[in-house]
Chains A and B, each alone.
Chain A
Amino acid sequence: MSREVKKRTGFSGKELARFWHKNWMGYLFLAPFVILFTIFVVAPVAYAIGLSFTNYNLMQEPQFVGLDNYKLLFLDDEVFLLSLGNTLKFAIITGPVGYLLSFFAAWVINQLKCKRGFALAFYAPSITSSVAMTSVWLVIFSGDRYGYLNNILLNLGMIDEPILWNTDPNYIMPVIMFISLWMSMGTGFLVFLAGLQNVPSSYYEAAAIDGVKNKFQELIYVTLPMMKPQLLFGAINAIVSAFGVFDIAVSVAGMPSPNYAGHTIVAHLYDYAFIRFQMGYASAIAVVLFVITFVLGKVVMKLLSSKDE
Chain B
Amino acid sequence: MTLKIKWFKGQWLHITLSKVLLYIVMLLLVGFTVLPLVYLVCTAFKPMDELFVFPPRFYVKNPTLKNFGDLLVSLGSSAVPFTRYLFNSLVITSAIVLCTVIVSSMGAYSLVKFKPPGGAFLFNLILMALMFSPHVTKIPSYMVVNGLGLVNSYGALILPNIAVAYNIFLIKQFMEQYPDELLEAARIDGAGEFRIFLQMVMPALKPATSTLVVFSFVNNWNDYFSPLIYITSQEMKTLPLALQTISGGAANMAVGRAGAVAAATFVMLVPTVIIFTIMQGNVMETMVYSGIKE
Mask of B6-39 contacts with A, CB within 8 angstroms, 1/0 = 0000000000000000110010011011101101
CA distance A51 to B137 in the complex (A): 10
B80 within 8 A of partner (CB): no
Q: List 5 A-B contacts (CB under 8 A).
A: A40-B159, A105-B29, A108-B26, A194-B174, A244-B133
B69 within 8 A of partner (CB): no
Contact of A41 among B120, B139, B165, B224 (CB under 8 A): B165
Contact of B30 among A4, A122, A129, A289 (CB under 8 A): A122
CA distance A124 to B176 in the complex (A): 29
User: Would you list which residues of chain B between 178 and 205 have a CB under 8 Å from chain A?
Assistant: 193, 197
Q: With A124-B33, A229-B176, A230-B173 known to touch, is A43 a contact of B110 (CB < 8 Å)? A: no
Interface residues of A (CB under 8 A from B): 1, 4-5, 19, 23, 25-30, 32-37, 39-45, 47-48, 51, 58, 105, 108-109, 112, 115-116, 118-129, 131-133, 135-137, 139-140, 145-146, 148, 151, 182, 185, 187, 190-191, 193-195, 197-202, 226, 229-230, 232-233, 236-237, 240, 244, 246, 266, 269-270, 273-274, 279, 282-283, 285-286, 289-290, 293-294, 297, 301, 306
**Cβ-defined contact, B136 with A273, below 8 A:** yes
CA distance A39 to B118 in the complex (A): 18
The 7 A-B pairs at the shortest CB distance, nearest first, are namely A26-B114, A26-B116, A33-B107, A36-B163, A44-B140, A29-B110, A229-B173
**Cβ-defined contact, A45 with B137, below 8 A:** yes
**Cβ-defined contact, A297 with B131, below 8 A:** yes
B130 within 8 A of partner (CB): yes
Q: State the main secondary structure of chain A at its contact with B.
A: helix
CA distance A123 to B34 in the complex (A): 9
CA distance A146 to B52 in the complex (A): 13
**Cβ-defined contact, B39 with A136, below 8 A:** yes
Q: Which residue of B lies closest to A42 (CB)?
A: B125
By a CB distance below 8 angstroms, the chain B residues around A37 are 125-126, 129, 163, 165
